[in-house]
Amino acid sequence: MLELYHHSTSVCAAKVRLVLHEKQLEWKGNFVDILKGEQFDPAYLKLNPKAVVPTLIHDGKVIRESTVIDEYLDEAFPARPLRPDDAFGRAQMRLWTKLVDESLHICCAAITFALFHRHTVLKMAPAEIETYLQNTRDPVFRQRKRVWVHKGLEAPDVKDAIKFHDKLLTDMETALGESRWLCGDQYTLADVSLTPYVNRLEMLGLAAMWRDRPRVTEWFARIKARTNFQPAVIEWIPPQMASVMKANGSAQWPFFEQSLKAA
Ligand SMILES: N[C@@H](CCC(=O)N[C@@H](CS)C(=O)NCC(=O)O)C(=O)O
């Protein structure tokens, strides 16, 4: 049995749901509301000491880290493979998934908090906000989150995060000049890993970031046409939340445009 601890807007959880749906696996979801601080619940911390989602339980075995979970699922359920069958192809795929883990994820968090999550957190009483921040396990993440919550777009790392996304889209445009998917002609975990992040930009009304990148535009259209996209990504976002995300982000497009010009 497969059980996933996850959250609607979590990009990392969406990476895992994409694989579960792509492989047509039965799974049970346990919703952890990370904006209400449910990830800090002592019972959940036993499963995931970093207090983050997702966490997968497979027949009682606990697997953490979305990239690790996705590779695990691809190995444990080999039908509809999502990794190239040669070593070089898998190395190319892992360069993308590593980039997501090492750099893109924190840049996405900066933009998401500055435009959207901070407004949810700021609705809490000051003492609750402090508890929410103090509970964040990783001290570097905690400090950055604190600045995103209190300063929003004025947080010093937000402009770098915007530029990072811009460079990523350039790299994707280049890679997609060679092949239909990011690592050749097979849809792989590289495409899976990037999907929630590109979708996040779109949900925040920032799709203009790839308006001059026709291959990324076509890639994203192919991604959206896959049967896993709606049930794994879109259907989890309540329409009211989606419209606030779009409105908040679109209103700040001039800030993004300005930051990109300054690049
Ligand atoms: N490297 C981890 C990152 C997980 C992560 O940061 N998850 C976010 C949601 S995408 C989270 O749970 N955040 C909790 C918080 O902000 O306190 C993974 O890939 O699973």
Per-residue pLDDT tens digits for 179-202: 999 999 999 999 999 999 999 999
Q: Are residues 99 and 182 in the same domain?
A: yes
Q: Which of 71-85, 129-143, 203-217 has the lowest mean pLDDT?
A: 129-143
Which of 17, 50, 76 is the last residue in one of the domains? 76
How many H helices and E strands in the chain?
14, 4
pLDDT tens track for 56-71: 999 999 999 999 999 9
Instruction: Output the pLDDT for position 263.
Output: 59
Ligand 1 mean position, distance from CA 92 (Å)? 24
**Residues flanking ligand 1, CB < 6 Å:** 10-12, 34, 39, 51-54, 65-67, 101, 136
Ligand 1 mean position, distance from CA 96 (Å)? 18
Q: Are residues 67 and 95 in the same domain?
A: no
Does residue 168 register a pLDDT over 70? yes
Q: Are residues 203 and 169 in the same domain?
A: yes
**Closest residue CA from atom 9 of ligand 1:** 10
Q: Are residues 94 and 167 in the same domain?
A: yes
The burial class, CB within 10 Å (0-12 / 13-18 / 19+), for 165 is buried
Range of the domain at 14: 2-76
Q: Are strands 2-6 and 28-31 parallel, antiparallel or unpaired?
A: parallel
For residues 216 and 171, is the Cβ–Cβ distance under 8 A?
no
Q: What span, in angstroms and rounded, lies between the C-alpha atoms of 133 and 136?
A: 5
Instruction: Output the pLDDT for position 159.
Output: 97
Q: Are residues 67 and 163 in the same domain?
A: no
Ligand 1 mean position, distance from CA 105 (Å)? 9
Q: Are residues 151 and 251 in the same domain?
A: yes
Residue 20 included in any domain: yes
Instruction: Output the pLDDT for position 262.
Output: 84
Q: What span, in angstroms and rounded, lies between the C-alpha atoms of 105 and 161?
A: 10
For residues 47 and 3, is the Cβ–Cβ distance under 8 A?
no
Q: What span, in angstroms and rounded, lies between the C-alpha atoms of 240 and 250?
A: 15
| Structural domain count of the chain | 2
Which of 42, 76, 110 is the last residue in one of the domains? 76
Residue 82 included in any domain: no
The burial class, CB within 10 Å (0-12 / 13-18 / 19+), for 232 is buried
Instruction: Output the pLDDT for position 36.
Output: 87
Q: Could you count the other beta carbons within 10 Å of the beta carbon of residue 207?
A: 18
Does residue 10 register a pLDDT over 80? yes
Which of 74, 26, 56, 64 has its CA nearest to residue 188? 74
Ligand 1 mean position, distance from CA 53 (Å)? 5
Residue 81 included in any domain: no
Ligand 1 mean position, distance from CA 177 (Å)? 31
Ligand 1 atom closest to the CA of 13, numbered from 1: 10
**Closest residue CA from atom 11 of ligand 1:** 52
Q: Are residues 252 and 144 in the same domain?
A: yes
Q: Which residues contact 53 (CB under 8 A, 6 or more apart)?
A: 5, 6, 7, 10, 12, 13, 32, 34, 39
Instruction: Output the pLDDT for position 4.
Output: 98
Ligand 1 atom closest to the CA of 12, numbered from 1: 10
Mean pLDDT for the chain? 96
Q: What is the mean pLDDT of residues 114-128?
A: 95
Instruction: Output the pLDDT for position 35.
Output: 85
Q: Are residues 52 and 130 in the same domain?
A: no
Residue 41 included in any domain: yes
Instruction: Output the pLDDT for position 18.
Output: 98
Does residue 242 register a pLDDT over 70? yes
Ligand 1 atom closest to the CA of 54, numbered from 1: 20
Q: What span, in angstroms and rounded, lies between the C-alpha atoms of 102 and 150?
A: 24
Q: What is the mean pLDDT of residues 14-22?
A: 98
Q: What span, in angstroms and rounded, lies between the C-alpha atoms of 191 and 219?
A: 9
